[in-house]
């Protein structure tokens, strides 16, 4: 499968009303009114478990199956109180792990529903999916926690990705995602070779 096919599968899962498995876990009181979830849909050998919540936000560990057809989508609902959004997370991928993180918009098509960042198989580079194509942002090293921030600017239709609190090469990128942002999610894509273990912690949005 190519990337377009996989992301189409994700969109059908999100909007078709398919049965979603709610993972057990505690939501910190600081985030309870803002973030709900996760709702998890999975196939093959991919799996996830909740990590202990902290004042910084929620956490999820994903073990993605590398074989063709194994996938996992975990989505969180979020309310920001404005049409723009800032999402923060810390990601710790194991060696060889590929992952996708995305903000979820209100459009009716894939391009208007997702603002995606990803690390692809065999690479330590973080990419952002702008409306002009995938743009290299910087490095997300294996085995090391990396703080990431995604800032969506609704009025101009642009976004920024910060790595370790610093501006990256992904600044003022164009996107077709339509506000308001209604949540965020993580995905182990169903392509062969994707997957591995990755911890997402400090998951929050405002």
pLDDT (0 to 100) of residue 10: 43
pLDDT (0 to 100) of residue 206: 93
* Per-residue confidence band for 61, with pLDDT thresholds at 50, 70 and 90: very high
Q: Please compute the mean of the pLDDT values over residues 75-99 and round it to a whole number.
A: 94
pLDDT (0 to 100) of residue 34: 63
Q: Is the peptide bond before 127 cis (omega within 30 degrees of 0)?
A: no
Residue 58's closest CA among 23, 85, 84, 93? 23
Q: Please compute the mean of the pLDDT values over residues 8-32 and round it to a whole number.
A: 36
Model confidence pLDDT, tens digit, residues 128-142: 999 999 999 999 999
Question: Above 70 in pLDDT, residue 165?
Answer: yes
Question: Above 90 in pLDDT, residue 94?
Answer: yes
Higher pLDDT, 148 or 20: 148
pLDDT (0 to 100) of residue 185: 97
pLDDT (0 to 100) of residue 126: 98
CB–CB of 95/143 below 8 Å? yes
CA 2, distance to chain mean position in Å, is 19
Q: Please compute the mean of the pLDDT values over residues 73-87 and round it to a whole number.
A: 91
Task: Provide the greatest CA pair distance for the chain.
Answer: 41
Percent of the chain with pLDDT over 90: 75
* Per-residue confidence band for 77, with pLDDT thresholds at 50, 70 and 90: very high
Model confidence pLDDT, tens digit, residues 25-51: 333 333 334 689 899 999 999 999 999
Residue 197's closest CA among 186, 205, 182, 183? 186
Could you give the CA distance from residue 91 to residue 46 in angstroms, rounded to a whole number? 18
Question: Above 50 in pLDDT, residue 8?
Answer: no
CB–CB of 36/77 below 8 Å? yes
Helix (H) or strand (E) holding 114: strand 114-119
Helix (H) or strand (E) holding 113: helix 110-113
Q: Count structural domains, the chain.
A: 1
User: For residue 107, what are the domain limits?
Assistant: 3-205
Question: Above 80 in pLDDT, residue 194?
Answer: yes
Q: Please compute the mean of the pLDDT values over residues 169-175 and round it to a whole number.
A: 98
Average pLDDT, the chain: 86
CATH number of the CATH domain containing 131: 2.60.120.200
Q: Is the dihedral of CA 150, 114, 32, 85 positive or negative?
A: positive
pLDDT (0 to 100) of residue 70: 97
């Amino acid at each position: 499968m190519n990337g377009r096919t996989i992301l189409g599968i994700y969109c059908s899962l999100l909007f078709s009303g398919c049965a979603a498995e709610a993972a057990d876990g505690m939501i910190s009181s600081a985030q309870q009114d803002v973030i709900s979830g996760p709702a998890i849909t999975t196939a093959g050998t991919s799996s996830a478990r909740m990590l202990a919540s902290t004042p910084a936000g929620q956490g999820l560990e994903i073990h993605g199956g590398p074989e063709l057809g194994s996938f996992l989508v975990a989505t969180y609902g979020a309310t920001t109180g404005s049409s723009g959004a800032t999402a923060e997370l810390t990601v710790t991928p194991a060696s060889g792990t590929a992952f996708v993180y995305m903000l979820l918009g209100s459009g009716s098509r894939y391009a208007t529903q997702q603002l995606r960042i990803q690390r692809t198989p065999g690479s330590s580079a973080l990419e952002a999916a702008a409306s002009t194509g995938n743009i290299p942002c910087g490095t997300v090293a294996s085995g090391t926690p990396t703080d990431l921030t995604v800032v969506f600017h609704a009025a101009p239709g642009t976004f920024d990705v910060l790595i370790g609190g610093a501006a990256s090469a992904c600044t003022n990128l164009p996107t077709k995602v339509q506000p308001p942002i209604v949540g965020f999610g993580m995905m182990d894509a169903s392509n062969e070779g994707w997957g591995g273990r990755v911890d997402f912690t400090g998951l929050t949005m405002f």
